[in-house]
Structure 1
Amino acid sequence: MDASILPSYVTVTHPSKKGYFRMPAGSDKNIESAMKYEACRNDIFVCSYPKCGCTWLQNIVWRLLNDGDGVTGNIRQHIPFLEFDGKEAIVNVQPRKGIKIIKTHLPCSWVPKHAEAKYIFMVREPKDVIVSLYHHIKGFVGTGPSQSPSRTSSRYVPAGYDWSEGRFETLVDAFLEGRCDCIDYFDMIDEWLQEGMGESLHIILYEEMINHPEGEILRLAEFLNVDLSAKKQTIVSDIIKNTSLAKMKEEDEKWYTTARTTPFIRKGIVGDWKKHMTPEQAIRVDKRTRQLLDKYPTILKTWKSLIN
């Protein structure tokens, strides 16, 4: 295998929307069904680019809506992944308190809209996204010589990246050129932030959730109309404890359905890019990040201290 090539992707288009969407090869079997889903008034869409904390956020949202209790079994049994699971999975999932939570990495214009539905979009400083995405892709079964028996059982589906010899520098270049998962990362953020969905959209910065979890969870609860007045401190404290990195690592197999050679939950820290990127690579990423920061200085203000 030529180590300079990219992970294997399939590119799909929407029947009525502009642009494209890139998925791991072979994972697009339900995408046509997904595009037919019509949002409902009680839907909550948990949205992000991959590796921006979407799984963590799903866990938090679920617990907020269920008095602090976590999911039983795999999370996809309760929170369908729109573009991977399709319309039928969402229609068939059993709502809790009349509410359905739906995960997606689709661009904003592709996500089904309803005036009364709620949309949560999580963003993460892109240097850490690149590092997390690199390890994420490399960890799939079929992308390396060793396969852990505990992660290759029949409940998992094959991965399609086929990138066992992929190099970090190749992924950095591809990310900056918009040739990785989904669409260009910077374009995705720009589209969500300029959409102006008003009270229907809640933006969360990954770094703010790391640094100020209680405040961010309370903001999220208010957005979701979750009344925490009776047990606020207990429920929020329990959610912080039970959605910690250490706790989610203990329950690792709850969070994925595609066979892996490495755990799904890795580090999740801010600044891990410093152990992977050259100064030149960091400067290139920061240049594009600065364009977003200049356009959305208030929303993305936390990033000011994270870029050059």
Structure 2
Amino acid sequence: MNDKTVPTYAYLKHPVTGEICVYPGDFEQKHCESALQYKAKPNDVFVCSYSKCGTTWLQNIIWLILHKGEQIRGDIRKQIPMLEFDGDEKLNQIDDSKFPRVVKTHFKLKWVPQHPKAKYIYITRNPKDAMVSYYYHCKGFVSHFDCEDLDFNKLFDLYVKGDVEFWGYFDHVTEWYQKRNETNVLFLLYEDLKVDPKGEILKIAEFLGKNYFESLLVENGKLLQQVIQDSSFSVMQTASAELISLPRPKSLPFIRKGVIGDWNNHLSSEQSKIMEELIKEKGDPSGWSSLWDKHENVWSI
């Protein structure tokens, strides 16, 4: 009998190296193998992140920029497939003749298909807030995780050990941070996007291509203002039920809170200290441990 106080996971194996990737419990080996068969295309735009670090927000912004303000309608995975879940066949069904194919992934760097002309946009978030968001993510997707009685403290212990889906947060961020200066990689912070959406959206558009950047600024920035508005928390939360096909409790919307610093309402002082020590231990060698210093006095916005 499964322990309902912790998420149920599936431990799937890389068919060549034998390395294990942790998936939500209702996935099978075929999903992992299909994902690894996909070959990146020159025009692909990969939205890369660890779970619950602003992925859906970033997907929406990129879509709005690429599609000149046209919103995502219906199930988001039918338009932006998730590499791990939807695999090679569904990704190749996306028509990229008019617009670049956008691919979501939580895979670690070395599992993400590479192409020198493809673009990779990575977003991360303070792990304290990411962990809290992941807790509500698991509670909301009972069909994935089979954890009706999820215990926050038990999940915290699993999270800081890296014993949750898609490996651990800390190594995931380290790998991508070390690639941040490559010409086809853009490294973003959730907190920067929250504090300065206009500046970050312009940065994303410039990375995607000069024509996208310029289109945001014509007519006194009309499209830019539309992208800012349509990617706002209030608009996305209203549409959140339409973005996913799996049912969730009404009390746990897919787009739940969208603030900086909600961890203050959930983590004990001891848990916060553990996170701080891990940020320093894992982040100091490559330099990412200070990423959130500028936001340390900005929370609950």
What per-residue deviation string (whole Å, max 9, x for no partner) do you get for residues 49-79 of structure 1?
Answer: 1110100000000001011221122211211
Query: Are 2:40 and 2:115, in contact at CA under 8 Å, matched by a contact in 1?
Result: yes
RMSD, aligned CA: 2.1
Amino acid at match of 2:174: D
Aligned residues: 290
Task: Write the distance in 2 (CA, Å) between the matches of 1:20 and 1:306.
Answer: 35
Which moves more between the two structures, 265-274 or 227-236?
Answer: 227-236
| 1:287 is the counterpart of 2:272 | no
Query: Are 1:64 and 1:226, in contact at CA under 8 Å, matched by a contact in 2?
Result: no
| 1:82 is the counterpart of 2:83 | yes
- Cα displacement (A) at 1:20: 2.5
Match for residue 263 of structure 2 among 258, 269, 273:
273
Cross-structure match for 1:149 = none
- Cα displacement (A) at 1:295: 3.2
- Cα displacement (A) at 1:18: 6.8
Which moves more between the two structures, 203-212 or 19-28?
Answer: 19-28
Cross-structure match for 1:162 = 146
Task: Write the distance in 1 (CA, Å) between the matches of 2:113 and 2:148.
Answer: 35
| Structure 2 residue runs without a partner (length 5+) | none
Q: TM-score, normalised by structure 1?
A: 0.88
Amino acid at match of 1:190: T
| Identity value in percent | 37
Could you list the structure 1 runs, at least 4 aligned residues long, displaced by more than 6 angstroms after superposition.
Answer: 1-4
Structure 2 CA distance for partners of 1:42 and 1:241, relative to 1, 3 Å = same
Query: Are 1:37 and 1:87, in contact at CA under 8 Å, matched by a contact in 2?
Result: yes
- Cα displacement (A) at 1:259: 2.1
Task: Write the distance in 2 (CA, Å) between the matches of 1:98 and 1:305.
Answer: 35
Q: Name the SS for the 1:76 alignment partner.
A: helix
Query: Are 1:78 and 1:94, in contact at CA under 8 Å, matched by a contact in 2?
Result: no
What per-residue deviation string (whole Å, max 9, x for no partner) do you get for residues 144-182 of structure 1?
Answer: xxxxxxxxxxxxxxx221111111111111101111111
Cross-structure match for 2:165 = 181
- Cα displacement (A) at 1:96: 5.8
Cross-structure match for 2:12 = 12
Question: Which runs of structure 2 are paired with 1:1-308 in the superposition (5 Å)?
Answer: 5-17=5-17, 19-28=19-28, 29-95=30-96, 97-140=98-141, 143=142, 159-195=143-179, 198-227=182-211, 228-232=213-217, 233-261=221-249, 262-297=252-287, 300-303=290-293, 305-306=295-296
Q: Name the SS for the 1:165 alignment partner.
A: coil
Q: TM-score, normalised by structure 2?
A: 0.90
Q: Name the SS for the 1:203 alignment partner.
A: strand
| Structure 1 residue runs without a partner (length 5+) | 144-158
